[in-house]
Amino acid sequence: MADEGRRVGIATEAASGALRPGILSGRRRLPVAGLATLPFFVYATAFLFVPAFSVMVGAFQDKADHATFSNIRLLFHHPYIDAYWGSIRISLITAALGCVIGLFVAYAAIRDGTPRWIRSTLTTFSGVAANFGGIPLAFAFIATLGPLGVVTTWLRSRGWDITYQTPHFQISSERGIEVAYMYFQLPLMILVIAPAIDGLKREWREAAANLGAKQWQFWRHIGIPVLMPSFLGAFILLFGNAFAAYATAYSLDNGINIIPILIGDYYTGNVLNNPHIAQALAFGMFVVLAVMMVLYIPLQRRAARWAR
């Protein structure tokens, strides 16, 4: 550019301060603004995508870094396959219970007749409790249903010692973990399904009644179908949530055979000594969760469409 042009350019820029038409109109300025977002993408690549990718790669390598399926094949044997079933069992049960109970509790709080303060208390509490979990939660349940727990002691005083009499309950067990998991599964369900219940417009109920439908007919033809995408989406969310959980299970029963514990064992110096097994296990988790995500997205879209 000619000297003349450059001087004018500098003067213009100085005079107009930051009036940079380029940014707002600009194909020419694209690179500069784009650069400002670069740190984020670089960061995400370095700390999210690269590590995730390396897990996938490592799952298919042996100790000598040769490509192999042996790790993956091992996953289908004991104890790994049992760990997967354990994880899936816990996730399915807590997701199913969380969804059904959560739906009824949320509906109970929102329906006509229930005072408004109950709904807002429930929502606020759920917002806080959904983020609970881990070590404090485990202790709270040990304090409730453990061998010296408040409820255990009370039942014992009534003649039923659950630590050894049937029906038998132990907090350090798969059942115990499920009971504890409900403490964050239920609130999560409530948070997810409440807006969907709100979305059940009163006009639909009235129109249905006007056309002759009884309560159950409304639910069967309109209520449940409209809630279904949100319900299924919530189920998937809850499943993934339980599947990936680590801390609560670790604190309650760190011998339990589920995937996260197994992975953790390698790093906390327990059983595993082959890092590639841990990576294969992690890869297996990733696959299960990816399948869940693929199922989740179209459901979300459907639910959003009917909420309009």
Considering only residues 60 through 99, tell me which ones interact with another protein, judged by CB under 8 A: none
Q: Are the C-beta atoms of residues 234 and 94 closer than 8 Å to each other?
A: no
CA distances (Å), 202 to each of 31, 143, 199, in order? 51, 44, 9
Q: Candidates 267, 271, 274, 298: give the one binding another protein (CB under 8 A).
A: 267
Stretch that binds another protein, among 4-12, 77-85, 157-165, 282-290 (CB under 8 A): 282-290
Residue nearer to another protein on the CB measure, 278 or 299: 278
Q: Does 188 bind another protein (CB under 8 A)?
A: yes
Q: Does 132 bind another protein (CB under 8 A)?
A: yes
Positive or negative, the CA dihedral 33, 36, 42, 45 is negative
Bridge partners for 67 per DSSP = 61
Q: Does 301 bind another protein (CB under 8 A)?
A: no
Q: Does 6 bind another protein (CB under 8 A)?
A: no
Residue nearer to another protein on the CB measure, 37 or 166: 37
Q: Candidates 214, 271, 273, 274: give the one binding another protein (CB under 8 A).
A: 214
Which residues 149-178 are close enough to bind another protein by CB under 8 A? Answer: 149-151
Which residues 10-39 are close enough to bind another protein by CB under 8 A? Answer: 16-20, 23-24, 33-34, 36-37, 39
CA distances (Å), 269 to each of 43, 168, 194, 253, 281, in order? 30, 32, 43, 17, 16
Query: CA nearest 144: which of 254, 242, 252?
Result: 252
Instruction: Give me the least distance between CB of 167 and another protein, in Å please.
Output: 18
Residue nearer to another protein on the CB measure, 81 or 304: 304
Q: Does 53 bind another protein (CB under 8 A)?
A: yes
Instruction: Give me the least distance between CB of 49 and another protein, in Å please.
Output: 8
Q: Candidates 113, 117, 158, 166: give the one binding another protein (CB under 8 A).
A: 113
Residue type, 231: F
Residue type, 80: Y
Both tokens of 54, joined, read 């390396």
Q: Are the C-beta atoms of residues 66 and 57 closer than 8 Å to each other?
A: no
Q: Does 279 bind another protein (CB under 8 A)?
A: yes
Instruction: Give me the least distance between CB of 3 and another protein, in Å please.
Output: 26
Stretch that binds another protein, among 3-11, 68-76, 159-167, 261-269 (CB under 8 A): 261-269
Q: Are the C-beta atoms of residues 103 and 193 closer than 8 Å to each other?
A: yes
Number of residues engaging another protein in binding (CB under 8 A): 114
Cα–Cα distance, 172 to 7 (Å, whole number):
77
Residue nearer to another protein on the CB measure, 81 or 135: 135
- Collapsed DSSP state (helix, strand, coil) of residue 187: helix
Instruction: Give me the least distance between CB of 81 and another protein, in Å please.
Output: 18
Stretch that binds another protein, among 66-74, 76-84, 159-167, 185-193 (CB under 8 A): 185-193
Long-range contacts of residues 290-297, Cβ cutoff 8 Å, at least 24 apart: 292/236, 292/239, 292/240, 292/243, 293/236, 293/240, 295/236, 296/233, 296/236, 296/237
